[in-house]
A and B are shown apart, each in its own frame.
Chain A
Amino acid sequence: MSESTQAPIPPAVRISNLTKQFGFIRVLNGINLTLKQGEFLTVFGPNGAGKTTLLRILSTLTRPTSGNGTLLGYDLAQDGALVRYLIGVLTHHPLLFPTLTGYENLKFYGQMFQVQHLPDRIETLLHEVGLSEQRDQLVETFSRGMQQRLAIARALLHAPRLLLLDEPYTGLDHEGISFLTQTLKAFRAQGGTVIMTSHDFEKGLELCTKATILNDGNLAYYGDPTTLEEPFEAVYQRCVGSPSKAL
Chain B
Amino acid sequence: MAQKVRIGDTILLGLTCLTMLASLYAIFIYAPTEKTTGVVQKIFYFHLPLAFLSFFAFFLVFLASILYLYSQDVRWDIFAQSSAEIGVLFCSLVLITGAIWARPTWNVWWTWDPRLTTALILWFMYVAYLMLRKLLKPGVQTSNIASVFGIISFINVPITFFAIRMWRTIHPVVIDQSGIHISAPMVITLLLSLAAFSFLFVVLLRIRVRVEKVLRAYEELYFLLERNKKRLPS
Contacts and interface: CB of A to CB of B under 8 A. Distances in A.
B172 interface: no
B138 A247 contact: no
B221 interface: yes
A234 to B, nearest CB: 13
Interface residues on A, range: 10 to 19
Interface in B58-74: 72, 74
Nearest to B213: A24
Contact of A22 (B140, B225, B230, B231): B140
Contacts of A25: 220, 223-224
A38 B223 CA distance: 38
Interface in A16-67: 21-25, 46-48, 63, 65
Given A23-B74, A24-B216, A243 B228 contact: yes
B227 A48 contact: yes
B96 interface: no
26 contacts: A21-B72, A21-B74, A22-B139, A22-B220, A23-B74, A23-B138, A23-B139, A23-B140, A24-B74, A24-B217, A24-B220, A25-B224, A46-B231, A47-B227, A47-B230, A47-B231, A63-B72, A65-B72, A240-B231, A241-B233, A243-B228, A243-B231, A244-B228, A247-B221, A247-B224, A247-B225
A204 to B, nearest CB: 17
Contacts of A46: 231
Contacts of B216: 23-24
B154 to A, nearest CB: 24
Majority secondary structure, B binding face: helix
Interface in A232-247: 240-241, 243-244, 247
A65 B228 CA distance: 23
B198 to A, nearest CB: 30
Interface residues of B, number: 17
Contacts of A24: 74, 216-217, 220
Contacts of B72: 21, 63, 65
B213 to A, nearest CB: 9
Nearest to B78: A23
Given A23-B216, A48-B227, 17 more contacts: A21-B74, A22-B140, A22-B220, A23-B74, A23-B140, A24-B74, A24-B216, A25-B220, A25-B224, A46-B231, A47-B227, A47-B230, A63-B72, A65-B72, A240-B231, A243-B228, A247-B221
A39 to B, nearest CB: 29
Interface string B136-179: 00111000000000000000000000000000000000000000
